[in-house]
Each structure stands twice: as structure tokens, then as C-alpha cells.
Chains A and B, each alone.
Chain A
Amino acid sequence: MRTAVRLAALAGRRLAGALATLLAGSFVLFAAAEVLPGDAAAAALGGSASPADVARLHAELGLDRPLPVRYADWIGSALSGDLGHSLVDRRPVSQIIAGPLADTLLLAGVCAALTVVLALAIGLAAGLRPGSLLDRILSGTSVALVSVPQFVTAGLLTLVLASWLGVLPAVSLVPFGEPLLAHPEALVLPVTALTLFSAAWAGRLVRAAVADAAATPHVEAARLAGLAPARVVLRHLLPTAAGPCAQVFGWLTGTLVGGTAVVEQVFNYPGLSNELVAAVEHHDAAVLEGIGLLMAAAVVTGLLLADLLTAAADPRTRTAT
């Protein structure tokens, strides 16, 4: 009971901290989007616009007000769920990003689920016997996958599976009005490319956590006491490794949402990165800020969950303030 109360208090503190972080981050984001060279009004009007046209559109879009005022306006609306309107085509930002966001979350979600399973399997297989042949094979492969740029991995997958073998579509095109889920084959290549990378990355960190846990005295003692290996892993090793693993998976949540960009470009996946690239090109600060805020929120949420999971897994952190 006492533990539950402490956990709830910790969750409260962490949540407040996360919100403060997000707020600070949002200001940096807003300021950064505003100081980007170029101008949404000029971009929207195009090359033939006169300075007077640009000034008029500036006023119309409210871009002539001071930065702090505009920020306060924006963050106020954003907190109530209104991300404003695109500076380029005036559609609501939430409407522009809703569809792509769902598709990106689907991609990131499937990858996260696969990554957790794979990373645990890799981490345990490699970390329980550090230096073994299996460990060397898995660690070597992981290092290779992490160090090769993602677009190279993605390109190779396309070349082999789409161009040569012809078993999968090269790019993710989905027929009219149909949900992406109705065409799971369009997901296979993007998911594979993204998961190969994140499972290799997370697997290495899990391996380190497992190896550290395996070397702790109480796990050593349990093993020496002659407990069955499965029992040693489940009752003694995993609880010790759970904290660091939770951190890894917390990080993963955030990085996956942000990390889909390369994969989305290569496979023309209908996610957020297309909107992000377009927003940057058109100096559409409103869309840029909306997407940025969502991504920041994803990262902060991931880290928050990681902290809470760590706390839940490790009794010592519960008392830490």
C-alpha cells in the first residue's frame, strides 16, 4: 500500500517534470521554426508576389505579432488540442497530420512490439553467456545492422525482395480510401527495415543489462545454489535487468516515432515524414511545429514510461526524489 502511494507520488512528480520539459521543448521548437530562413507568406504567395502582398498575408496570418505573443497563442491552443492552420493551404494542422500520424503510429507500433520481443530474445541469448559463439554472432550482426545507414538496409531489402524476387511491393501504395491495414504487404518492407535497426540497437543494450545482471552476486549465488537455469533467469536475473531494459524500451518509443522518417521516404510510406519534409520545404511553420510537438510528446512520454517502469522494477528508486 505504502509502495503504491509512493509510486503514485513519483508518477505525479515525473509527470509534472515531463510536462515542464515538453513546454520548454515546445518553446525551443517554436523559436527554431520561426528563425528558419525563409518565410511562409512569401513561399505561399510564390515568386510573383510583391512585398505588399507578402506584408498583407503576414498580417492576415498574424505573423506580424511579436514572437512571445504568437508562442503563447499557439501553445495555448495546442494544449486544448488545436494545432492551428497550415500557412500554405489553410487546412487545420490536426486534419493534415491525423491520417499520416495514424500510419506512422501503426508502423512504429508494430516495430516496437517486434523490437521488444526480438531485443529480449537477442539480449538474453547473447547476454547470458558473454563471449560465447552465439554472443559473438549476435553482437557482430547487431553492430553491422546499427552501423549501416538505414537507407542502405532499406535499399538492399527493396532490391532483393521487390526488384529481384518480386515477392513484395517496392513502395507502399494503398488503393483508394482503403486503410493501410487492408494491405499488410505494404507494411512488410518498412517494418522489416525499421525493426532490423531498432532490434539490433535495443538488443545490444539489453544484452549489456543481462550480462551485468548475470554477474551480480545474488544471481551468481542463485546459480551456485543449483537452481534451475530458467528459475535463475526468471526470478533473479530478469528483475535485476528489468530497470535498464525499461529504460531501453522507453527510449525506443520516442526514437521509433522520430526514426521512421528515413524508412518512410525510401518506401514512400504515407506517414508523418512526408508532411514534415513538405512543411520544411514550404516554410510551413504551423505544420512543422505541430508535428514537432507530437514527436517531442512521444519522446517525453516514452521517457516518462521508462522512468516509471524502472521505478516499479527497482524498489530503491521508489524512495528517490
Chain B
Amino acid sequence: MSRPDGVARRRVLQWSAAAATVAAGSAALTGCAGQTGGTRTVAGSGKALRVGASDATGTIGLDPRHAGFGASYIALYHLYDQLMYLKGSRYELGLAESVEPSADAAEWTVRIHRHAVFHDGSPVRAADVAYSLRTLATPPSTRANNFADLDLDRLKVVDQYTLKVGLKRPRGDFREGILAVFSPVFPEGTRDKDFARGVGSGPYRLEEQDGKNLRLAVNDKYWNGTSHFRRIDLSLIADPAARLAALKSGQIDYAFGITATGAKAERANRAISVRRGHTANSNALSFAMNERLAPFDDPDVRRAVRLAADRDALVQKVLLGLGTPGEDLVGKGLPGYAGRARTRDVAEAKRLFARAGVDTLELRAADTVPGFTAAARLLGQQLKEAGVDLDVRTVPADTYYADLKGLSRAPFQTFYYANRPAAVHLSATTTKGAFFNVTGLGERHFKRLAAAQATVDDGRREAAFAAIQRDLSATGGDLLWGFQEQLDASVPGLTGVWSSQSTPVFTRARTA
């Protein structure tokens, strides 16, 4: 019940795993200590929405270069406009009015909305966009990896609203693979301490922060229409049980991140409403086999492990049913997904294991996502039926990703990814330079991926990505068994909340 900040840790790792990452900033907590049970009227009036969230960094940071998943991201999505968004299962234009490729997709033209204005009153210009991209693409930005293909010398401001972005290699998926993943825009010249002022062109502006609380006020001059709630009060509440208790006692209106156990327990409680992220906003949970290391260098062994797993049982028992069975690929429920249903075949698994001479396996497991070690033990029982003893070696979750050598040397380990569209996932985490190559992908994959990314024609590019997915699903190293949903909870009657990469956005939120 008092597990310290599981979501935060999970998310920080999720982003690391997505080669995206995290660091720090400052300021959190909303004010309503005086309000006790039953005070649900504030959200109802449209005045303020009180949100409780944890944060991967332990503080709410407003610096996009280091933002942590959780409260910082929520603040970021309201203060800054992004050029594009991943919105549920689609990618959409944001501040960018259009994003168009050159014939070979090696240069892109970005046009921005003409009426966008920063919170300090200055207009948003192409120069600001160029400055933002440059800043995000350069260390100490922890997001630099996302922009690795940008050729910063060929970042050209054409006119006040138009910008050309040159790439080091063609990227047909520039929109969904780079801009939609992360592209907040801030004024030219913003550096270091300036970020604490949170000046963007987003639908909310920073009103107050005192290191413990963050209060956003609606931006009435927002180019894309004004929002219903006049204020958003963001509180840092680290523990998921405490967030749920705060919601139940009326101290907050929206709890970002509750546990599956909490969601189950409150199912019948009409005073709150549990909000399921479904597969579009979820973690893809995997037992990763490294195909460069024995015994997983034998495709038959990888196949046998996948055939032996009972994915439904894992989802039911470990995720308490609040999830979807996986098909060894990231991206289920999202565009471009090419996965196919899996069926368990213990007899065939047994035959393959016997033929490969495998009767014991060792799995490195950590609760980087709560329940991972339980899942590992359950997998052990399932493998037993196929004649294989699984030795589960548990390691501490908080240092799991710190031990990079351990990650690359472990033949078999628990691992998870943020569920994002397959093309985004493949580009962000399985390229040659990506940080965690836990399934031992090789040159052949990198080449195919680069070719797919360079394809300008949307249809052909999608087909190329689908082919890569089919290949991974046939012989890849992930036993990706389930999707664990992002679970939030709110007061009843709150509608219009949309999610981008599991982060709730309240610009269209209303109460009934």
C-alpha cells in the first residue's frame, strides 16, 4: 500500500527504455488541505481542476529538456504547444499547420499557425521553432536522441511562419517518428533558469509555483480556443494509494496513476470513476530473449518459449484482467500494427525444447513494473508444463536500468516498452544507436529499418514497417505477453480528457 512511487519509477524507466529519458526540475503540490470529504464542487463549477500525480523526478520540472514522466509532462502539455501530437491512436498537427517532405524526405517544410502567441505576448515565429528544435537536439537535453537525424546546420528559417528542417538521412516518418513524439516550442533565447517561468504558447500559462505547488491559469488568448477550466492545480502525490485516498476524500479531482488493485477495489464506488487507458495508453510487458546469446541464438528456442506461454493467464493473474494479451509486438491498438493472435501449443513447445536440448532457463526479473516478478514465476509454471525448469533471478527494480552491462549480457529478462505506434516504437527503440538492445537485434534489422524510415510514400513505408513487424513476430526476441493499461481515476462526470502517450490533457475537459 505504501509502495514508494512505483509509477514514477516505472515511467522513468519506460522513457529510458524508449531511449527517450528524463531528469529534473522543480515545483509541485496543490492547495486544498482545508477541504475534506465531499467537497467536489470546485471541479463542477469549471473554476479549477485539481490534479494529483507523481513524477519520475520527484519534482515538477518545466524544462522540456529534462522533464520527467508524470506531473512534469502534464505541466508541459498545458504550458507548451507541440508541433505535433500522438493523440490516442492517431498523430495530429499541433502548432504546425503543415509538415511536408521534399521528394526524397531528406528535407521537411514546417509551417506554423499565424495567430499563436507566447504567454509573454510575443508572437510565435519560425525562429522560435528552430531554436526549440536546436535546443532539444543538443545535450544536455535528455531528448537529443529523438532528434539525432536532424542536421542542425540545415535548419533554415524561410519566413516568419515557415521553416525548413534538413535531415542527415531521409526520414519518411519524420512526422510520427520525431515530431509527434516530442516537440514543444518555447521562445528563442530561453535558457536554463528561464524554463522555470514556463513561457510557452500553450492553452495554460504558469500562474504560481513555490517549489511545492504548481498552478496553471487558462490562456484566454489561445489561438486554438480557450479551455473550460479556469485553473489547473497540480499536486505532487508520490504514492498511488495516497492519490486514490486524496481523490476519495475530495482533495483532488483527478488522480494520475492508480494501481490495478485500487481500480478493482473502487469498481463499485460511484463517487469516483476509474479511467482506463486501454491498449493505446499502456505498457507493453515482455520477457526479452537476446538472440545473440545462447540458448536464444536458436530460433526454435525462442519460438518454443513463446508457444509455451499462456498469455491470457498472465494478463488475468498479474494485471488482474486490466490489460490485453500481447502478440510479441509493440503497437497493438494503434495505427500500422501488424501483429497476429497467438495460440498456446505446449506439445509443440515441448518438442522444440527437447530437440534443442533445453531443459533449464534462467530469467533475470525485476519489479520495474509492479507484478513483473510474479509474472516471471507464473511463466515458470507454464514452462514447466513444456518440460523446462525456469530459474527466476530477481534483482532490485530501482537499479535495474543502472546496470547497463547486466542488461546487455542477460540472455533472458523482464523488460517493458511504452505502447506507441509500431513505426514510432521501431524508430525510437530498435535503431542501431538506441540504448537498450535487449533482444540482440543485428545489422540486418537496422538496415531494413533505415530503408523503411527513408521511404517517402506513406503506403509503401507502412508496408515496409509491417514487413519488419512480421519478421520480428516470427523470429524476434520479445515474448511480449501483455499490455498493462495506464489507470487513472477522477470525479464522476469529467469528460473530454484526452491522452497523449499516457499523459492526460485537460484542454477539452468539462464536467457534466
- Contact between A46 and B23, CB atoms less than 8 A apart: yes
A47-B142, A48-B144, A162-B36 are known; give 13 further A-B pairs, CB within 8 A: A37-B399, A37-B402, A42-B402, A53-B139, A86-B24, A88-B23, A163-B245, A169-B251, A170-B246, A170-B251, A176-B212, A274-B238, A281-B398
> What band does the interface of chain B fall in when counting residues whose beta carbon is under 8 Å from A?
35 or more
A89 to chain B, nearest CB (A): 4
A185 to B146, CA, bound (A): 46
| Of B24, B36, B245, B250, the contact of A89 (CB 8 Å cutoff) | B24
Per-residue A-contact encoding for B52-96, CB less than 8 Å = 1, 0 else: 100001110100001000000000000000000000000000000
The answer to whether A268 and B21 touch across the interface, beta carbons within 8 angstroms, is no
Contact partner of A177 (CB less than 8 A), chosen from B30, B33, B210, is B210
User: B25 near A171 (CB under 8 angstroms)?
Assistant: no
Partner of B139, one of A45, A88, A183, A265: A45
Q: Among B18, B20, B210, B238, which residue has its beta carbon within 8 angstroms of that of A265?
A: B238
Which residues of the other chain, A, contact B210 by a CB distance below 8 angstroms? 176-177
Residues of A within 8 A of B403 (CB): 37-38
Q: Nearest residue in B to A56 (C-beta to C-beta)? A: B139
Which residues of chain B are within 8 angstroms of A172 by Cβ–Cβ distance?
A: 33
B8 touches A47 (CB 8 A): no
**Residue from the list B61, B213, B245 in contact with A171, Cβ < 8 A:** B245
CB pair B31 A176 closer than 8 Å: yes
In the bound complex, do residue A278 and residue B212 qualify as a contact, i.e. CB atoms below 8 Å apart? no
Contacts of B241 in A (CB 8 A): 155, 266
Give, as a whole number of angstroms, the nearest-CB distance from A235 to chain B: 46
Question: Please, how many angstroms separate the alpha-carbon atoms of A86 and B25 in the complex?
Answer: 12
> Are B145 and A169 in touch, CB under 8 angstroms?
no
- Min CB distance B48 to A, Å, is 12
Contact check, B1 vs A155: say whether CB atoms are below 8 A apart: yes
A39 to B401, CA, bound (A): 10
A residues engaging B (CB < 8 A)?
Answer: 36-39, 42-49, 53, 86, 88-89, 91, 99, 151-152, 154-155, 158, 162-163, 165-178, 183, 185-186, 262, 265-268, 270, 274-275, 277-278, 280-283
| Cβ contact of A270, chosen from B4, B5, B29, cutoff 8 A | B29
A88-B20 contact given A45-B140, A168-B36, A281-B5, CB 8 Å threshold:
no
B22, A46: Cβ atoms closer than 8 Å: yes
26 cross-chain CB contacts under 8 A:
A42-B404, A45-B21, A46-B15, A46-B16, A48-B19, A48-B143, A86-B24, A88-B57, A89-B23, A89-B24, A99-B212, A166-B37, A168-B249, A169-B246, A173-B237, A173-B246, A174-B212, A175-B32, A185-B36, A266-B1, A270-B212, A277-B4, A277-B5, A278-B57, A278-B58, A281-B398
Q: Which of B32, B58, B140 contacts A274 (CB 8 A)?
A: B58
Knowing A47-B20, A99-B211, A266-B242 are in contact, say whether A185-B2 is a contact too (CB < 8 A).
Answer: no
Q: Is the interface of A mostly helix, strand, loop or mixed?
A: loop
A36-B399, A99-B212, A270-B212 known; A282 and B57 CB under 8 Å?
A: yes
Are A268 and B399 CB-contacts (below 8 A) given A46-B23, A171-B245, A173-B29? no
Residues of A within 8 A of B58 (CB): 274-275, 277-278, 281-282
Q: Could you say which of A46, A158, A166, A183 has the most chain B C-beta atoms within 10 Å of its C-beta?
A: A46
Separation in Å of the B311 CB from the closest CB of chain A?
28
When distances are taken between beta carbons in the complex, the residues of chain B under 8 Å from A36 are: 399
Complex CA gap A266/B8 in Å reads 15
Which residues of the partner chain B approach A49 to less than 8 Å between Cβ atoms?
139, 142
Number of A-B contacts (CB under 8 A): 196
Bound together, the chains give a CA A99 to CA B26 distance in angstroms of 13
CA distance A257 to B252 in the complex (A): 29
- Chain A residue with Cβ nearest B22: A46
The 6 tightest CB contacts between A and B, nearest first, are A166-B37, A175-B31, A38-B402, A46-B21, A278-B58, A48-B145
B17: interface (CB < 8 Å): yes
Q: Which of A43, A178, A267 contacts B402 (CB 8 A)?
A: A43
Q: Does B310 contact A (CB under 8 A)?
A: no
> Are the CB atoms of B17 and A167 closer together than 8 Å?
no
Instruction: List, in ascending order, chain A residues with CB within 8 A of B15's CB.
Output: 46-47
A158 x B36 contact (CB < 8 A): no
Least distance between A249 CB and chain B CB atoms (Å): 27
CA of A185 to CA of B35, assembled, Å? 10
Q: Which residues of B contact A155 (CB under 8 A)?
A: 1-2, 241
Complexed CA–CA distance, A182 and B458 (Å):
60
A175 to B213, CA, bound (A): 7
Q: What is the minimal beta-carbon distance from A162 to any residue of chain B, in angstroms?
A: 4
Provide the bound-state CA to CA distance between A252 and B20, in Å.
Answer: 45
The answer, among A47, A53, A185, A282, for a CB contact under 8 Å with B33, is A185
